[in-house]
Structure 1
Amino acid sequence: MTVQTASRSALRDLINLLEEIDERWAGPEWNLHSPEDVAAAHRSLMHVLEGGLATMFENDVAYPQFRRIVTPWRKFTGDNGDAIYFDAPVSADYEYRVRGQINGAVYVSITVEMGTEDGSMASKTAGVINDTQFDVDANGWFELRLGGEPAERNWLPLPEGASRITTRHYFEHKQCGAGDPALEPALYIDAINPERAPAVPNDQSIAEGIKRVAGFVRSRTLGMPPMANVEKQPAFVALTPNQFPKPVVPGDFGLSAFDAHYSMAPYYLEPHQALVITGRWPICRFGSLDLWTRHQQTYDYCNRTVSLNRAQTQLEPDGSFKMILAHEDPGLPNWIDTEGRVLGLMFWRFFLVEGEVETPQAEVVELASLR
């Protein structure tokens, strides 16, 4: 006779969820109609499942650990080829000490997320501290306190409902930083006086871990309606192909950074076409354009030029840029490789902007005309 446990029940629920995702999310209900579309959905699902197992299954707010969120082989929810992200569970019931390395990043921050207790995607960004607000020693190390008594520097409050923190390290190198193992920063987090011993895994805690994994997977699949079906998009998101909205600060939108300006639009290019993108980099700490699949996964930044940051961009004599999005190399500077994907997403990020951000302009041309 099969032994019935809470963990077995949670596992069955996870298996049923995966079947539902396969039947609904990887199909026409989410505007996926071709074998290639379905295969891409399954790849995305495997990445999301790995992300849930890596970051959500084992969780203890009294004894948290930083886990890397996305990697070159685990991508979801709009990663970036120049950024390394970590997260850790927290609670307003505790005070924490965070130590870490800048490791040459041009921008470093920690944001407080809410609504992640059950593994779901953050519902709100509740606070942020960046490297202009904390002290960094000569060797690139910093130490912060989260929660507890307020302080003028090196401190970030944890409001009621805070459940997770996300760290961001952005790099502007010729090689994409997320694909360089040497750039992965050292990060440590400890609860100050946790007042209890670490929990020993048991049936209930294992079941809760499986449920968090399921919540993580559900929120990033069935919980994410197709872009075309969303009545109200954030101001930085456009639905019209090949046309960027004005870059704006996202506010407290879940998983967003208060310090950033964002702009996102889909592209659509036939094999014989190219998209010429012109504009100027603003005065900022970091700026880049990344390509994503419709499932918000970056393209292969380890082996192809599928994004451009400021250090990778060759400027025109007047300081402007001209980027070329195309399926084949046009033989000109600033080519961004679409990997032959006719449809994809383009996402701009600008951090700690001074002044206005000029909206990049885009024009579809014949690829042959560029040669």
Structure 2
Amino acid sequence: MESTIAMAELAELIAAINADADDARWNFVSDLDRASYREFAMHCLHHSLQFWLEADPLRPRWNRWFMPNKKLLGDNPDTVYYGTVIDPTKSYRIRGNIENACYTSFTVEIGTAGGAMSQKLGHTLNDREFEVDAAGNYELLASPTGSGPNWLRLDPEAGSITTRHYFEWQRCAALDPSLHIPLTIEPLEDPGPPPVPDDTAVAANIRRAITFLRSVTVDWGHTPMPPGAIPWVSAEPNVFTNPADHDGNLGIGYAATDNIYRSARWKLAPDEALEIRGRWPRCTFANIVLFNNHMQTPSYDRRLVSLNRVQTEVEDDGSWRMILAHSDPGLPNWLDTRELEHGTMFW
């Protein structure tokens, strides 16, 4: 049976991921590094099965990208993300409510059909661009052709849509189990009920999950980007770059065209701390997030591994000082590394 073969392929991939933890390209130096990679891979498997196993572009449904127990590709404690597969030749009606988010957006992902990673960004709409009524409700048309502020254009190579919902609360929004963001998507032409999956369909479903899981694990990192390839990514640990221009992030999958990013690695000995000084810009949303080697936030339940503007203590002149440290320095605005000597700071 074809599904038997597909299941065996999944088992082979998991074995390959286990061995991949020892690959030199990761530069792992400890058993903790290797164990962390295996845990990350299980988060990716979780997402692969949840998002891709029963993905049906004729009958799309929203799946939550990140949760406190599912992290990959850069999660954020102050945000909620959803995603769904689509057929770029079809038309869909999206209905939702802002639900007091300070920012809401929809991004079309290019090249994601069949479980592949996003190659670049397609059309993007945020809640400053599309019409929202006084109660926070909105309705969008996602289709290959259309017009008006509430039209989300589906590019011919599009395979999925990603949503972003940002909150600046004292407690991280991703930890709130009662937070519900009303959001639906339905095709304009009813495809009818889905057929009962046969052996061929089940095999195809499993292989979509395999494709995504492979892309974020054993296929990842074989061609590292040269320093400076992304201007806002610093090549020097503990130092940020601040390029004047913003290119819209169009060539970066799973990004957002209207988000301005900054990123740098931290590298701290057990007895060291890093002081970061600055001022919040005038913007819709801002925060700093810490990632481990796999773009996952360390556990943020009862510890702050991110700071937004509401959480940050600010001086009278509008400036602030953050302390990145392995243990509580007894000062405001502590960013807890969770004892990781190296990782990524992401704005």
TM tier relative to shorter chain: over 0.9
> In the alignment, what sits opposite 2:320?
321
**Residue among 125, 129, 132 paired with 2:125:** 129
Deviation at 1:113? Answer: 0.3
Q: What is the rounded CA distance, in whole Å, between the counterparts of 1:13 and 1:236 in structure 2?
A: 38
Number of equivalent positions = 343
Deviation at 1:226? Answer: 7.0
> In the alignment, what sits opposite 1:363?
none
Three-state SS of the structure 2 residue aligned to 1:188 is strand
> In the alignment, what sits opposite 2:280?
281
Structure 1 runs (4+) deviating above 4 angstroms are: none
2:199 is the alignment partner of 1:200: no
**8 Å CA contact retained: 1:250, 1:262:** no
Q: What is the rounded CA distance, in whole Å, between the counterparts of 2:329 and 2:269 in structure 1?
A: 15
**8 Å CA contact retained: 1:51, 1:69:** yes
> In the alignment, what sits opposite 1:359?
none
**Residue among 62, 67, 71 paired with 1:66:** 62
Three-state SS of the structure 1 residue aligned to 2:123 is strand
Deviation at 1:170? Answer: 0.4
Which string of whole-angstrom CA distances, capped at 9 and with x for unpartnered residues, describes residues 7-64 of structure 1?
Answer: 1111111111111121124543421231111110111011000010011100111110
Three-state SS of the structure 2 residue aligned to 1:84 is strand
RMSD of aligned Cα (Å): 1.6
Give runs of aligned pairs for residues 1-371 of structure 1, distance below 5 A. Answer: 5-195=1-191, 197-225=193-221, 229-231=224-226, 233-246=229-242, 248=246, 249-348=248-347
TM-score by length of 2: 0.95
Q: What is the rounded CA distance, in whole Å, between the counterparts of 1:321 and 1:88 in structure 2?
A: 39
Deviation at 1:251? Answer: 2.8
Q: What is the rounded CA distance, in whole Å, between the counterparts of 2:225 and 2:157 in structure 1?
A: 27
**8 Å CA contact retained: 2:144, 2:155:** no
* Residue type of the alignment partner of 2:279: R
Which string of whole-angstrom CA distances, capped at 9 and with x for unpartnered residues, describes residues 112-170 of structure 1?
Answer: 00111121210111110100122222332211110154222211111111110000000
Q: What is the rounded CA distance, in whole Å, between the counterparts of 2:196 and 2:120 in structure 1?
A: 31
Three-state SS of the structure 1 residue aligned to 2:83 is strand
* Residues 274 and 226 of structure 1: CA distance in aligned 2, closer, same or farther (over 3 Å): farther
Q: What is the rounded CA distance, in whole Å, between the counterparts of 1:136 and 1:281 in structure 2?
A: 27
Three-state SS of the structure 2 residue aligned to 1:125 is strand
**8 Å CA contact retained: 1:114, 1:122:** yes
Three-state SS of the structure 2 residue aligned to 1:217 is helix
Question: Structure 2 regions of 5+ residues with no counterpart?
Answer: none
